[in-house]
Structure 1
C-alpha cells in the first residue's frame, strides 16, 4: 500500500472490507493526487462525512456483533448467549483465542477508522485551498475521532501501535506503544479538538462532535486514569451547558439528536433504505431472527429490590411456552426498511454518563455531598428514592458501590461500560460466577489478533495468550 494519493471515496471503498488490516489496503489503479481531493471545502467536508458513515459500517463502532458494544458487553455479566457461534462463545466465556475472527474484525475496524482520520489530517496539511474555518473544524473532528478510537483500543488491548500517518512502510512494522504514551496522545488530540471545534453542532446534527464532546471524552479519559480532579472539571464543563443538554424521559433518550445525546452515530451510513440502528436489530429479541443474546439472570436480579422506570422503559420481555426472556429495549426499532426519516441514532456518549463520571470523581475525592447530588439526578429520573433523603451520611466506599450499581443499570448495552467498570473497580473476579467462564485476571486484555502478529513480528502478544 502506498501513501494516499487518490480520492477519499476510493479510499473508503478500498478499506470497506473490515477483515482487511489497514496497512494492507492496495492502491487502486486510477490514482488522483491528494491535492485534488482537498481542493475545496465541499470535498474536504465530504471526506469527513465519509468517516462518520464508516463509523456506522466498520465493525469497531457500528453496534453490531463485532463491535465494542457487543463483544465487550458479552465479555461481562450482563448478557446470556442464545447462539452456539464459537467466536461469540469465546468472548462470553472469557476464553478468547488469538485466532478469533470477531476479535480480528474489532481490531481491524478500529485501525481502519484511524487510518481514515490520519489520511484526512494529512490531506488538510497538504492543501492550501481549504478555508481556515473549515480547516479548524475538520482537524478538530478528525482528531476527536482518532482519540476516541485509540481510547477503546488501548482499554481493550493495552499496548497497541500508535499510528499517526499513512506511510505503509512505517505502519507495517510499527511496534506497540506503552499505554501511558497512547493516553498522552489521546489527551493531546482532545485538547486540540477542544480548541478547534465549535460550541454548537454543525447543522444541529449530533452525529458531528462539538466542543462539548471533547470535554465529555476528556472527562472519561481522566476518570479511567484516576485523575479525579480533572475528570470532575471536564464533566462539570459539559453538565453546565443547560442550553444544549438535559436528562430526558427514558423513551426519548435514544432518538436522533436527542437533547441528552453528546455524540451519536447516524444509520445514514447504511447508504440504503435501511434506517434502524444495529443495536436495535441485535438486542431486541426475536426468535425468528436468531437474536444472539438476552439479558442474563444475574443482571435481571439487580432490578428486584425496588421499582425502577428503566426496567419498565428499557427492558423488554418475550414469553414462549411460559418461559420469559428479557432483552435490552433501549432502542425500539429492530428493523426499518422504509427509507423514511431516521428515528434513532446509535448513542455513543450522553449526559447521564457525565453525571455518573462526576459523581465517581467527586466520591473519590471525598466530596460526598456533591457525588450524592449527581447520583440523585440519575435516581430521580428512574423514580428511585434519593440518597440525600435515605442515606445522607453514606460512607465513601458504600457510595462508590452505589455508583457502580447505577452505572450498570444506566449504561447496560452501551459501549461495554460494564466490562470496563469491572476492571476499573477491581471487581473482575465477579466474572468467575458466569456460567462456563474460564476468567483469569490476565484476560483483562483481549489478545492481539494472531493474523496481525504474523504480519508484523514487532508485535508482542498479551499475557495469557
Structure 2
C-alpha cells in the first residue's frame, strides 16, 4: 500500500469529509486566492459548487510543488538532491542531513529522503485525482471553467509521474482516490507510464489555451504542456515529436523570447519563463536563493563543485553572472547565483522557474542533431551560446554536436530540478561521469529504491529495484 494511504502522513483515501485536498495540508492557498470560509471546513462536494473554492483546490497544488514536491527550490528539491547525486554540487551540511546519503550514494530502501520524495509526490497525485473527480461530478461550474482546472490537474499529475518514473523506473500511475483500488495498485512498466503521461498531457493541451489564466505565468497554459511534452519526447527518443513541441513554444514569439541579459532570466517578469511558482508571502522571493547562496566560508549546505566551475569557459557570462564566489583568502567556494534575492524585498522580484525557453532550444538542438539536421542543431545551440557571450559551436557532425549539447545543458541548467542527473543518465554516461568521483557509486544507482515500508504494505509494488 503506497504512502498516499498512510494515515500518519497523508490523506486517507477512504475518508474525505472535508475539502480536499490541499488546504487541509496547507494554508498557502490563501496566497493565491482569499476566501471567506476556511477551506478545511467546507464539505468536499461543496468545493466544486463555487469557482473560488475550486480554484483554491487547484492553486494549492502549485503551492505543494513550490514548497515540497520535486521542483521545489528548497534543500529537498531535485535541484539540490540530484545535484548532490552527480558532479554538480558538493555537500557541506550537517552529518545527519538526509541529503548526505545522496551525495555519497549510500541510499538504502529505508532512506528518509527517498520516502519523502515518494510519499509527497503521490500525495500530490492523490490531490490531482481528487480535483479531477470533483470537477467531473460538479453541476455548478461552467464547462469552460472546469476545462481549465481539469487541464491544469492533468498537467500536474503528468509532471509528477515524469519525475517519478525517471527516479524509480516502474511505478504506479493511480487515477482515482478509491481506497480499495489504490491499496492494491501495481507498478506499471516505464513505457506504459510514459503512455499515461502522454495521454494526460495530450488532453491537457486540448483543454488549456495559449494565454495565462491569472496574467502572471504561475499556472499552466498550453505552452507549459508543450514544454513538458517536448521533454517527455526527448526522453522517449521520439525526436521529431520533441522538435515539434519545442518549436511550438519557440515559435510563440509574442509570449516567449530569450532574455538577452542573463540577469533578467530569473526575474518574475522574465520573457523566457514558461511556468513559474509564485512565493507564498507578499514580497518574498524564490526559495533557490536561500538554498544556494552563502556569504561566508565554509558553505552551510552545498556549493557548486569546483570541477563544474573550472570547466566553464572563462568568457562564459554565466560564469560571471550565475556563479558567486566566497573565499577565505586561501580557498574559494562557489555557489549558484541565478536567483539573487535571499530575503523579502517588499515587492517580489523572483519567482521559481519550472520551465523556461532556453531548455526548449536545447531540446530542439538535440532532437535535430539526432535526426542529422546539423545546421538546425547548430543554430539552436548557438542561440544559447551567443547569449552567454561564447563563439558559435565548432561541432560539425552528429556525435560532436551531441557532446556539445550535453556540455551546454550542464552550464545552462545547473541546479534546476535535476537536469544534470537526468541528462547523464539518458545519455548513458552516468557511470563514466560518476565512477571516478563517487566512491559509493554503483551502476544500480541509476534508479532509486522503492521505499521499503511501501513494499511491506503493498506487495504488488514488488520487485524492489536492483541493488537494494
TM above 0.5, one fold? yes
Q: 1:79 to 1:434 in 2, by over 3 A?
A: farther
- Alignment of 1:367 with 2:373, yes or no, is yes
Partner of 2:160: 149
Whether the 8 Å CA contact 2:297–2:326 is kept in 1: the answer is no
Alignment pair present for 1:350 and 2:356:
yes
Q: Does 1:202 align with 2:213?
A: yes
Q: What's 1:381 paired with?
A: 387
Distance 1:335 1:47 in 2: 28
1:112 matched to 2:123? The reply is yes
User: C-alpha separation between the residues in 1 aligned to 2:343 and 2:123?
Assistant: 27
CA separation of 1:228 and 1:114: change in aligned 2, threshold 3 A: same
Residue-by-residue CA offset, 1:231-284 (whole Å, 9 max, x unaligned): 00110111000000011121111111411101111112xxx4671322111111
- Which residue matches 1:227? 238
The verdict on how the C-alpha distance between 1:87 and 1:42 changes in structure 2, with shifts beyond 3 A counting, is closer
Q: Which residue of 2 aligns with 1:280?
A: 289
Structure 2 equivalent of residue 133 of structure 1: 144
Unaligned runs of 5+ in 2: 1-11, 28-39
**1:60 correspondence with 2:79:** no
Contact residue 198 and residue 210 of structure 1 kept, 8 A: yes
Helix, strand or coil at the partner of 2:459: coil
CA deviations 1:139-158 (Å, max 9, x no partner) are: 00110111111000000100
Work out whether 1:263 is the aligned partner of 2:275: yes
Match of 1:295 in 2: 304
Give, in whole Å, the separation in 1 of the partners of 2:429 and 2:385: 23
Report the alpha carbon displacement of residue 288 of structure 1 after superposing the two structures with TM.
8.0
**Aligned pairs, number:** 442
Is 1:91 equivalent to 2:102 in the alignment? yes
CA distance in 1, matches of 2:146, 2:243: 31
Aligned 8 A contact 1:15 1:112 in 2:
no
Aligned counterparts of 1:443 and 1:252: Cα–Cα separation in 2: 37
Return 60-69 or 364-373, whichever deviates more. 60-69
Does 2:263 align with 1:254? no
Tell me the distance in 2 between the aligned counterparts of 1:108 and 1:286. Answer: 34
**Contact 1:72–1:416 (CA under 8 A) maintained in structure 2:** yes
1:308 is matched with: 316
Say which SS state the counterpart of residue 225 (structure 2) adopts: helix
Partner of 1:334: 342
| Contact 2:212/2:219, CA 8 A, preserved across alignment | yes
Deviations 1:113-162 (A, max 9, x none): 11111000000001111111111100001101111110000001001111
1:411-430 alignment, distance < 5 Å: 411-430=413-432
8 Å contact kept, 2:66–2:277? yes
- TM-score computed with the length of structure 2 as normaliser: 0.90
The alpha-carbon deviation at position 3 of structure 1 amounts to 4.1
Map Cα deviations across residues 62-109 of structure 1 (whole Å, 9 max, x no partner).
221221221111111011111234532211122311121111111112
TM value normalised by structure 1: 0.91
What is the SS of the residue equivalent to 2:364?
Answer: helix
CA distance, structure 2, for counterparts of residue 153 and residue 186 of structure 1 = 11
> 1:44 deviation in Å?
1.1
Aligned to 1:407: 409
- Separation in structure 1 between the aligned mates of residue 274 and residue 268 of structure 2, nearest angstrom: 11
Q: Distance in 1 between matches of 2:17 and 2:200?
A: 26
